[in-house]
Chain A
Amino acid sequence: MHIMEGFLPWQWCLVWWIVAIPCLMLGIYQLKKILAKDREALPLLGVTGGFIFILSSLKLPSVTGSSSHPTGTGLSTISFGPWITAVVCAIVLLFQSLFLAHGGLSTLGANIVSMGIVGPLVGYSVYRLLRNTPVNIYITVFLVTALADIFTYVTTSLELALAYPAETGGFFSSFILFLGIFAVTQIPLAIVEGVVLALVFKYIIALKPDILIRLNIFSEEKINKARNEQS
């Protein structure tokens, strides 16, 4: 989903930076607030951030004959919401643009918007929708993770289609072409990522259920139900 340096006109780079900066500022503010309130949230932040580091470094082959990488943003989205996730993603994307030439500094805003903001926002909406319903915790984690992943790539397609509308068919035709490259490749990866992060969430519930209850990520009743199913 990295838009390479120089592949986005400067006007669009500016637009996406303008969208990204307030979200990052909100994320830094929320992060300070959470850590000041409960230092025990820091290890959970480490785990969720760690998965973004790991999964976004894995380039995996897919059905379209090309490779792509998962985003790993699902756990962070559920635990800390989309704005803090945007901050963690910004750190990962900055590392990749500086040391790996994946993405670039001018396109960093656009890449933060797709991986750190829109993908997690879609995931977070699903989480808020399902949190207080009888839907199983792991199904919720799976859906949030898989949708956050796919919508990251849908957003990249949108960003590129806006900057490069096709000569015939315009924006819509271009959007479909970019979706064919990014989103279709991502479907199997998003499914596996969703399953793996649901399993990781199971281990977090087993080891540290109190932090999930204290941060009001899921209700005590739901966490206890999930724990009972494990034993």
Chain B
Amino acid sequence: MSFKYTLEIITIIAILGFCALFLCTNSTMNGPVFAGSDSAGSGLIARLSGIPLENFKPLISQWHPPSGEIESCLFAFQAAVGGLMVGGVFGFWIGQKKKA
């Protein structure tokens, strides 16, 4: 039996399973908002400490992206930097292999 594409098949199944789980959660949960777990964690900190969320002040002042769109743009930039690194190296290795 050939195992040539076993990992690819397992990866596709895992991604499809993950998507199915999301759709299932979205349709069965009562109003899931899919906000970040970081925000949920901050909410729990406020509850445990008894300090309202708005009273937590930065110890070191911080720049905030002025809008959600700018934030998405910067996250995309981060992913693009990673993509360039991965793509560049894989391309380099493929070129080296062909040359050899």
Contact = CB atoms under 8 A, between A and B. Distances in A.
Nearest to A9: B59
B93 A53 contact: no
A43 B90 CA distance: 9
Q: For the side of the interface on B, what is the size category?
A: 35 or more
Interface stretch (A18-26, A117-125, A175-183): A175-183
Nearest to A202: B7
B86 to A, nearest CB: 4
Nearest to B23: A61
Contacts of A56: 78
Nearest to B86: A50
Interface string A165-176: 111000000100
A99 B10 CA distance: 36
A5 B38 CA distance: 11
A92 B8 CA distance: 28
Contacts, number: 181
B81 A53 contact: yes
Contacts of B40: 66, 181
Interface in B63-95: 63-65, 71, 74-76, 78-79, 81-86, 88-90, 92-94
Q: For the side of the interface on A, what is the size category?
A: 35 or more
B78 A195 contact: no
Contact of A105 (B42, B45, B60, B86): B60
B4 interface: yes
B7 A181 contact: no
A46 B7 contact: no
B8 A66 contact: no
Contacts of B42: 4, 7
Contacts of B93: 43, 207-208
A219 interface: no
B7 A68 contact: no
A43 to B, nearest CB: 4
Interface string A35-79: 000000001101101111111111111111111100000000000
Given A97-B62, A182-B41, 17 more contacts: A4-B56, A6-B59, A47-B89, A50-B83, A53-B78, A54-B86, A62-B21, A65-B25, A98-B63, A106-B59, A164-B49, A165-B48, A195-B10, A199-B7, A202-B7, A230-B4, A231-B4
24 contacts: A10-B59, A43-B92, A49-B82, A53-B79, A56-B78, A57-B78, A61-B22, A61-B25, A62-B25, A63-B21, A67-B35, A99-B63, A101-B65, A102-B38, A104-B58, A181-B44, A192-B18, A195-B14, A198-B7, A199-B8, A207-B90, A207-B97, A229-B3, A231-B4
Interface of B: 3-4, 7-8, 10-11, 14-15, 18, 21-22, 25-26, 29, 32-42, 44-45, 48-49, 56-60, 62-65, 71, 74-76, 78-79, 81-86, 88-90, 92-94, 97
